[in-house]
């Protein structure tokens, strides 16, 4: 961990149990574990010595629920209510790590107790996520104990707006929302424009599929976002700000609201902050569920209470944004980077990353990777390091096929580019984008045409309908993909997809349309043969596209347990108990339910 | 209804809200956007009903029809997709014989929805059962959950035990 931090807040208790309350862990039972823990500590008379803290997302989501014992830094995974008494007995009474719940190195099965020694954590550098597994996100004091609001104090009492802008510019920080526009430049524009009213907006409308970085920051360290916004307000001369939070994130909204209330109570927001005469008001606006609202102008229309439709960029938002007033808009992760940059300086920030892309980036690593979760790494790290060193490779012993970055606006990067160094330019050159930081790992059982269709279906549905290239163009592309995946592809379809894709990219009004063809174009670039197999041979090589495959039962492997028959929603499976079953191809809807239900791998799809 | 609407109006005036915040409150109160509510606000605020509908039909959060007693939300994020969420969706719709364009079962017991991405990608495929996230879902597990929900409503009739 980069900063040693200040643990003074923790002195009253001998030990702290940092129980992850990120979504993935909570869904696997964190709250039950907490109750069992409290009960057990009470029984053993330890409640005055050991404190349980619900922290933000730990990141190691694949093995939830997880917890870290501090200050020993011992990591426990796959917690269960039943194991809590043993854990308390071993660790807190006998004083030795409880072997059974420690992380085990997959090959030699050696236990690794220290969190920092576990490969998943070892290769990470935590700047944005430096607090998420260490503090109670609902406690202002704990944030302050980790240098919280020192940067805001420095910016407000010792720095001029020009100086703040200069530091941010020198740091090389680029917008973490996707496009990578230099943050300092944006702030400089905001500062230069003269206006009686200016706004600062935080874009927390994390709409990309397979991305949950901003959620983790808003839920796990909400004050860092607020502090970044206060500094931005000072730098650009704004007195009013909004945090736009995605509708699907109720916990993030709640945590931000608690943090805002704490700031107003203590004078960190409102009138005359730090006695400097500087005023700043901050409000939360809940989004209502529209992907296009991640686009700056659409987001502003949404705050104005309108349909979230983008407006032509005749001028920059820094000149004319929300209610036609100058507006500086950055995303959650960008703001969360700011306090550390102000405190430690531009050179410190640039000490990691590449020449053109400084600092670290948070990624959500998901899909067919063994250690899925939330990670933060220096830019310039290779995809191979991310997927194999941190991610632990592909799950189930399958072969890596591609990694999808950037969500619906991004593309798929194939195996021969695994050594690509990740930064904004290199990903763009490879036909994808950095995007907000979603990374979905795909293996040999994923059909690339299906993936492209999946994303296009999404952007097609989410297209606001304002401009024709996006509204009609994506529809036509989707029709072609539908045709291809259902075995009705024609010669020339690939060329037509390419032509349409290029036109849509060149002529759409906003980023949604301009990037919508990316998943198709990038898979065409690297996996053209799969498209050809669908069109020419009417085959889906990965056996995914349902119209091109048939399901059947291998008699020799079927023991007639009846699991498939019970699971089949179409009643297409015949057979009596303990004798091999059979699928009626006439009735089968190819939903694949039986394939998932069979424990004996007796169901074939070809 | 009148009282609930009045409360929403008071909040709107106090907190300097807009059409979206009104509709969010209506949706939260009633589970959907009833036509009466739109007309009521349209008259009170002298804003054409069409503007309310313009917003309500634009955002995924708003529903114009009431939902079923139980809401099953299938996550359609990328990680869930590659782990079979489409198969879950297809299987579920077939099980209840839902025609295209219809999301609620005829008896009003179940509504099936999708969400673009729930952000619990490590639990893929994720399904929300009445708002509670259930991860690593399989068709089998989902069928069991549905059976439990059905059981609760009808107190386990012989019919349910059969299915």
pLDDT at position A447:
96
- Higher-pLDDT residue of B124, A233: A233
Return residues 318-357 of A near B (CB < 8 Å).
none
Nearest to B79 among A366, A566, A593 (CB): A366
pLDDT at position B158:
39
* Binary contact (B116, A407; C-beta < 8 A): no
* Least confident segment among A10-24, A407-421, B142-156: B142-156
**Alpha-carbon span A30 to A54, nearest angstrom:** 9
B-chain CB neighbours of A247 within 8 Å are: 59-61
Nearest to A367 among B79, B84, B140 (CB): B79
Mean pLDDT of chain A: 93
ipTM metric: 0.88
- Higher-pLDDT residue of A7, B132: B132
Whether the predicted pLDDT of B161 surpasses 50: no
Return residues 52-71 of A near B (CB < 8 Å).
61-62, 64
The verdict on A444 touching B (C-beta cutoff 8 Å) is no
Backbone angle region of A383, left / alpha / beta, with phi > 0 → left and psi within -120 to 50 → alpha: alpha
Whether the predicted pLDDT of A304 surpasses 50: yes
The verdict on A446 touching B (C-beta cutoff 8 Å) is yes
At A520-548, the pLDDT tens digits run: 999 999 999 999 999 999 999 999 998 99
**Alpha-carbon span A480 to A497, nearest angstrom:** 7
- Smallest CA–CA distance, residue A398 to chain B, in Å, is 14
* Binary contact (B20, A364; C-beta < 8 A): no
pLDDT at position A237:
96
Q: What is the CA radius of gyration of chain A?
A: 26
* Binary contact (A306, B123; C-beta < 8 A): no
- Rounded to an integer, the average pLDDT of A367-392 is 95
At A201-210, the pLDDT tens digits run: 999 999 888 8
**Alpha-carbon span B49 to A106, nearest angstrom:** 61
Whether the predicted pLDDT of B156 surpasses 50: no
- Smallest CA–CA distance, residue B116 to chain A, in Å, is 7
A-chain CB neighbours of B118 within 8 Å are: 23, 248
- Answer for the pair A101, A183: CB distance below 8 angstroms, yes or no: no
* Binary contact (B121, A212; C-beta < 8 A): yes
- Predicted confidence band at A11 (pLDDT cuts at 50, 70, 90)? low
* Least confident segment among A461-475, A578-592, B26-40: A578-592
**Alpha-carbon span A583 to A549, nearest angstrom:** 13
At A382-401, the pLDDT tens digits run: 999 999 999 999 998 899 99
* Binary contact (B79, A212; C-beta < 8 A): no
pLDDT at position A595:
87
pLDDT at position A108:
83
Mean pLDDT of chain B: 88
Count other Cβ atoms within 10 Å, centred on residue B43.
10
At B17-66, the pLDDT tens digits run: 899 999 999 999 999 999 999 999 999 999 999 999 999 999 999 999 99
The verdict on A20 touching B (C-beta cutoff 8 Å) is no
**Alpha-carbon span A543 to A120, nearest angstrom:** 32
Whether the predicted pLDDT of A246 surpasses 60: yes
Which residue shows structure tokens 């009808």?
Answer: B154
Of all residues in chain B, the one with the smallest CA distance to A247 is B61
- Rounded to an integer, the average pLDDT of A241-255 is 93
- Rounded to an integer, the average pLDDT of A21-43 is 92
**Alpha-carbon span A397 to A3, nearest angstrom:** 37
Q: Report phi then psi at A338, rounded to 5.
A: -60, -50
Nearest to B24 among A288, A451, A592 (CB): A288
CB contacts < 8 A (A, B)? 157
- Higher-pLDDT residue of B151, A79: A79
Nearest to B55 among A28, A307, A570 (CB): A307
* Binary contact (A305, B134; C-beta < 8 A): no
Whether the predicted pLDDT of A359 surpasses 70: yes
Whether the predicted pLDDT of A4 surpasses 70: no
Nearest to B121 among A26, A308, A372 (CB): A372
pLDDT at position A6:
44
Most confident segment among A157-166, B63-72, B99-108, B117-126: A157-166
- Predicted confidence band at A235 (pLDDT cuts at 50, 70, 90)? very high
* Binary contact (A366, B118; C-beta < 8 A): no
- Predicted confidence band at A27 (pLDDT cuts at 50, 70, 90)? confident
At A314-327, the pLDDT tens digits run: 888 999 999 999 99
- Predicted confidence band at A486 (pLDDT cuts at 50, 70, 90)? very high
Percent of chain A scored above 70 by pLDDT?
Answer: 98
- Rounded to an integer, the average pLDDT of B59-76 is 93
Residues on B contacting A at a C-beta cutoff of 8 Å: 17-21, 23-24, 54-55, 58-62, 76-79, 81-82, 84, 87, 90-92, 94-95, 115-124, 126, 133-135, 138-140, 143
pLDDT at position A535:
97
* Least confident segment among A263-267, A467-471, B87-91: B87-91
Three-state secondary-structure class, residue A52: strand
Whether the predicted pLDDT of A8 surpasses 50: no
Of all residues in chain B, the one with the smallest CA distance to A252 is B119
Positive or negative, the CA dihedral A457, A458, A460, A461 is: positive
pLDDT at position A589:
86
* Least confident segment among A172-176, B53-57, B69-73, B158-162: B158-162
pTM of structure: 0.92
Q: Which two tokens stand for residue A191?
A: 């500062």
pLDDT at position B153:
54
- Rounded to an integer, the average pLDDT of A587-599 is 86
* Least confident segment among A320-334, A446-460, B146-160: B146-160
Annotate B75-114 with DSSP letters as a single string.
E-SHHHHHTTHHHHHHHHHHHTTPPTT--B-TTSSEEEEE
**B19, B45, B82: best to mutate for the A interface, most A CBs within 10 A:** B82
Q: Which two tokens stand for residue B21?
A: 């915040």
Question: A286-310: string of b/e by CB count within 10 Å (b at 16+)?
Answer: bbbbbbbbbbbbbbbbbbebbbbbb
H or E element at residue A411:
strand A411-414
């Amino acid at each position: 961990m980069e900063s040693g931090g200040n643990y003074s807040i923790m002195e009253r208790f001998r030990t702290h149990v940092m129980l992850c309350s990120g979504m993935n862990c909570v869904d696997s039972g964190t709250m039950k574990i907490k109750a069992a823990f409290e009960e057990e500590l009470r029984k053993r008379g330890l409640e005055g010595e050991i404190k349980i803290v619900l922290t933000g997302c730990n990141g190691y989501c694949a093995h939830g629920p997880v917890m870290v014992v501090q200050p020993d830094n011992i990591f426990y995974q796959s917690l269960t209510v039943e194991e809590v008494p043993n854990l308390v007995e071993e660790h807190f009474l006998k004083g030795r790590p409880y072997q059974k719940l420690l992380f085990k190195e997959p090959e030699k099965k050696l236990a690794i107790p220290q969190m920092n020694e576990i490969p998943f954590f070892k290769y990470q550098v935590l700047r944005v996520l430096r607090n998420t597994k260490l503090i109670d996100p609902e406690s202002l004091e704990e944030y302050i104990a980790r240098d919280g609001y020192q940067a805001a104090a420095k910016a407000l009492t010792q720095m001029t707006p020009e100086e703040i802008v200069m530091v941010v510019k020198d740091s090389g920080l680029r917008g973490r929302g996707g496009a990578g526009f230099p943050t300092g430049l944006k702030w400089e524009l905001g500062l230069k424009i003269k206006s009686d009213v200016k706004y600062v907006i935080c874009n927390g409308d994390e709409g990309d599929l397979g991305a949950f970085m901003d959620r983790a920051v808003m839920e796990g360290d909400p004050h860092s976002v607020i502090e970044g916004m206060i500094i931005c307000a000072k730098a650009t001369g704004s007195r009013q700000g909004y945090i736009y939070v995605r509708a699907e994130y109720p916990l993030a909204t709640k945590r931000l609201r608690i943090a805002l209330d704490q700031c107003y109570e203590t004078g960190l927001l409102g009138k005359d902050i730090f006695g400097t005469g500087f005023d700043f008001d901050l409000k939360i606006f809940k989004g209502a569920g529209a992907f296009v609202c991640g686009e700056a102008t659409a987001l502003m229309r949404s705050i104005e209470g309108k349909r979230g439709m983008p407006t032509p960029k005749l001028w920059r938002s820094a000149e004319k944004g929300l209610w036609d007033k100058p507006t500086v808009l950055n995303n959650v992760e960008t703001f969360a980077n700011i306090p550390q940059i102000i405190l430690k300086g531009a050179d410190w920030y640039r000490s990691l990353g590449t020449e053109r892309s400084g600092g670290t980036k948070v990624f959500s690593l998901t899909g067919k990777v063994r250690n899925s979760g939330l990670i933060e790494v220096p830019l310039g790290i290779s995809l191979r390091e991310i997927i194999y060193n941190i991610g632990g490779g592909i799950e189930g012993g399958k072969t890596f096929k591609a990694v999808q970055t950037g969500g619906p606006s991004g593309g798929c990067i194939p195996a021969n580019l695994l050594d690509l160094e990740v930064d904004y330019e290199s990903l763009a050159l490879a036909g994808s984008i950095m995007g907000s930081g979603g990374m979905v790992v795909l293996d040999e059982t994923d059909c690339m045409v299906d993936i492209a269709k999946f994303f296009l279906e999404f952007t097609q549905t989410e297209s606001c309908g304002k401009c024709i290239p996006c509204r009609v163009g994506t529809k036509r592309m989707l029709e072609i993909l539908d045709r291809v995946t259902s075995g009705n592809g024609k010669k020339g379809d690939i060329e037509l997809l390419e032509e349409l894709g290029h036109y849509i990219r060149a002529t759409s009004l906003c980023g949604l349309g301009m990037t919508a063809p990316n998943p198709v174009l990038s898979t065409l670039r690297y996996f053209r043969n799969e498209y050809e197999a669908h069109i020419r041979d009417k085959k889906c090589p990965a056996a995914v596209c349902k119209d091109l495959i048939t399901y059947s039962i291998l008699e020799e492997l079927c023991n007639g347990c009846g699991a498939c028959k019970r699971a089949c929603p179409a009643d297409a499976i015949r057979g009596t108990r303990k004798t091999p079953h059979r699928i009626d191809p006439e009735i089968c809807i190819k939903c694949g339910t039986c394939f998932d239900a069979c424990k004996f791998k007796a169901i074939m799809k070809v | 209804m009148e009282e609930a609407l009045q409360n929403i109006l008071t909040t709107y005036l106090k907190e300097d809200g807009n059409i979206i915040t009104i509709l969010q409150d209506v949706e939260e109160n009633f589970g959907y956007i009833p036509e009466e509510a739109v007309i009521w606000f349209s008259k009170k605020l002298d804003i054409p009903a069409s503007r309310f509908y313009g917003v309500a039909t634009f955002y995924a959060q708003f529903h114009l029809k009431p939902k079923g007693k139980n809401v099953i939300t299938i996550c359609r994020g990328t990680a869930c997709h590659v782990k079979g969420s489409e198969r879950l969706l297809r299987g579920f719709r077939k099980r209840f014989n839902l025609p295209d364009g219809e999301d609620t079962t005829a008896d009003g017991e179940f509504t099936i929805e999708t969400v673009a991405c729930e952000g619990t990608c490590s639990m893929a495929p994720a399904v929300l059962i009445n708002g509670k996230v259930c991860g690593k879902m399989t068709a089998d597990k989902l069928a069991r959950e549905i059976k439990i929900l059905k059981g609760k409503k009808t107190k386990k009739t012989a019919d349910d035990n059969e299915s």
